[in-house]
Amino acid sequence: LLAKTESELAKTTRKLERRSAALEATQVDLTQVKSALDRSKDTVTEHLRENLGLHSEVVQWTDKANALEGELAATAAARETAETLLAKTESELAKTTRKLEQRSAALEATQVDLTQVKSALDRSKDAATELLRERLGLHSEATALKGELA
């Protein structure tokens, strides 16, 4: 019975030694796994930090893009207003140009009329001057005749 117990004890001891070796190997493996997990955790943490930084940049660029969209909308509205004002100004300029052309034509017609009036006045002046000379001549003759008659 003692021999049998010693034999069982020897088997159990070998089993325990194998299990102890396996446990030590597992412990080394777990240490390596923990180390790998720590490195992986550090890498993931670094990636998260980078992603957070990138997210922050995306938010900033989005804010800038939104501001630029607002400026673009304001610029487009200002352009529409400017185009409307330009069209109105061009229309008013066309009306003013037509009025000036009409007034220029009327002025030219008036200028022709004034030239004709001046020419007529010059002829009338010449005729009046001629009549005055004739009357002056007649007056001189009448004065001379009056002097002869007296």
CA 30 and chain centroid, separation: 65
Query: Which pLDDT tens digits describe the chain residue by residue (150 residues)?
Result: 888 888 999 999 999 998 888 887 777 677 787 888 899 999 999 999 999 999 999 999 999 999 999 999 999 999 999 999 999 999 999 999 999 999 999 888 887 778 888 999 999 999 999 999 999 988 888 888 888 887
Reduced to 3 states (helix: H, G, I; strand: E, B; else coil), residue 150 is coil
- Residue appearing with tokens 């610029």: 75
Question: Can you give the pTM of this predicted structure?
Answer: 0.42
Integer angstrom CA distances of residue 79 from 5, 29, 73, 89, 92: 104, 72, 10, 15, 20
